[in-house]
Amino acid sequence: MFIKVFMNKRIVIIGGGNLGTAIAQGLTKSGFIQPQHIIITKRNVSTLKHLEEEGIMVSNNNREAVQYADMILLCVKPFQVSDVMEEIKNVLTEKHVLVSVVTGVSIEQISSHLLTKTAVFRAMPNTAIAIQESMTCISHDRISGDQLKYVEDMFNQLGEVVIIDEKLMDASTVLGACGIAYALRFIRAAIQGGIQIGFDAKTATLIAAQTVKGAAELLIQTGHHPEQEIDKVTTPKGCTIAGLNEMEHRGFSSSLIRGVVASYNKIAKD
């Protein structure tokens, strides 16, 4: 029922860059919204031809796009938010729902541009949103009912959703959005190791990626602690524990934790 209602809604994505494009693709792939109900904007639209071919509307006119839409997804860089908000504030109404995926810009900062009581959410997805496998953290300022359901439901089509306090938004950026890059670096290193012990690159990539996918699914589907699953693989005096301990002696967990904290400190400082 809700999906039926939602399918008639129209979405504008302001900022057709990496994330905006990934969201547009994820939304259409999920079948949740028809491509012709999405407009994606940027100043130089020539890079959006592939989306236009899929039936998504593209535009360089933010104001016109907002007037067409029910939901606005703000996907520009942090320093561009102010200009965009000033540009669209006169055409925003109480009926609009504004969702910002912009890192480090608070709901209060966005709301300070508003002339009406438009509902403002922050969402922190990651680039796996393009294949509907995002981890998206959402925060809001006491919004409930249909508008919250509307936003939750949309991101639920694009992966997993968790509602968090806004003060954890920077932490969610690191663990969820930067986390994609950390995980990919892990996979790349595993591939390099795999090639050194005998696999060609293509086979090593498949084995490493599917193995990480399986490990993640083991945790998600069983709810087990990672160490519980690790215990099943580590035969006493075996090769797994020998490899794991060598990684730990070289600072594996420590460097990951330090990387997470370094990313977090960088967000907090800039």
Note the residues at the interface with ligand NAP (CB under 6 A).
Answer: 14-20, 41-44, 62, 75-78, 80, 83-84, 101-103, 124-127, 177
Give the H or E element holding residue 71. Answer: strand 71-74
Q: Which stretches does DSSP call E strand in 33-133?
A: 38-41, 57-59, 71-74, 97-100, 119-124
CB of 33 or CB of 88, closer to ligand NAP? 88
CB of 188 or CB of 225, closer to ligand NAP? 188
Q: How far apart are CA 188 and CA 194, in angstroms?
A: 10
Q: At its nearest, how many Å lie between ligand NAP and the CB of residue 142?
A: 23
Q: At its nearest, how many Å lie between ligand NAP and the CB of residue 248?
A: 29
Cα-Cα end-to-end distance for the chain: 44
Nearest CA to 79 out of 48, 60, 103 is that of: 103
CB of 110 or CB of 204, closer to ligand NAP? 110
Q: At its nearest, how many Å lie between ligand NAP and the CB of residue 255?
A: 22
Residues 6+ apart with CB under 8 A from 65: 12, 14, 39, 41, 59
The helix/strand/coil state of 144 is: coil
Residue nearest to ligand NAP (CB): 17
Q: At its nearest, how many Å lie between ligand NAP and the CB of residue 212?
A: 18
What DSSP designation does 47 have? G
Q: At its nearest, how many Å lie between ligand NAP and the CB of residue 84?
A: 5
CB of 244 or CB of 259, closer to ligand NAP? 259
Q: How far apart are CA 75 and CA 20, in angstroms?
A: 6
CB of 28 or CB of 134, closer to ligand NAP? 134
